[in-house]
Amino acid sequence: MKKLLLLVFVASGLLADIGTIMAVKGDAKVLRERGEVQAVGGLALLKGDNIITQERSRVQVMLKDETVVTIGAKSKFSFDEYIFDGANSKVAMSSSRGFFRSVTGRIGKLAPQRFKVKTASATIGIRGTDFWGVTGGEKEKFTCNRGKIIVSFDGGQRVVVAGRFLEIGPKGVKEGAQGKDKGDDGSNKKSNKLGRASKGAAKILAKAIKVDGAKMQIRVKNLSDVVKGVTGQANIGDIIQKKIDGLGINITPSNRPKDYQ
């Protein structure tokens, strides 16, 4: 009996979701041990999942700690390991090809030294960071928008601060100031909006939830409308609304906070 319970516990841990797909544009798939599923908004992500996007497609994910990852067109991105447990937290992700952007959440503050993204040419560590990369080609490029990243590669290591980029290719390593380009397919500019959408939604939830004994109330008139108004992404609001409905949280217009009147 004890062995059976242990197996159930281990299995449930392996299948525990690590985050949610918040937005999808175009065609994308999630590859996991049990097969392939279509990437859609609201789909729970599992440890080991690989997201593959087609041409003119993008996916945005929010992990449990509010880390936001945007995956651009014709890309493959993997969530290799994820633990959200205070100082023991750990994130290990990898980009095989294409564009990605990561805006770190709570793990970036709790355990920044245990947050890593691997590519074919480098391993990227973070320090309170918003950064993006284009990977898998002859050259790989990593740009820091906020904070700093530590890029380790064969033969060295560089610290890249906000507003700077590092490019690794056959001719060596190049570093410089960030230009006007925001990613090879424009995904970085678009992910700015999506990133603010997910972060904004999380902040709205944090401000809006009032705990009164065992009862929770959302003090907003309509969360979907609020999120849509802030971000322009109606589907993100719909996803959050469904999650709230599933928790049985009461929507109370009369308790709407002044911040959102």
The pLDDT value given to residue 34? 86
Determine the CATH number of domain 2-185.
2.60.120.1440
What is the model's pTM? 0.69
pLDDT number for residue 213: 35
Evaluate if residue 71 carries a pLDDT over 90.
yes
Instruction: Please give the Cα distance from 125 to 160 (Å, whole number).
Output: 10
Question: Is residue 168 scored above 60 in pLDDT?
Answer: yes
Amino acid letter, 183 = G
What is the structure's pLDDT at 92? 98
85-140 tens-digit pLDDT: 999 999 999 999 999 999 999 999 999 999 999 999 999 999 878 999 999 999 99
Q: To the nearest whole percent, how much of the chain has pLDDT over 90?
A: 59
Ranges of CATH 2.60.120.1440 domains, the chain: 2-185
The confidence band for 70, taking pLDDT boundaries of 50, 70 and 90, is very high
Mean pLDDT lowest for which of 15-19, 126-130, 235-239?
Answer: 235-239
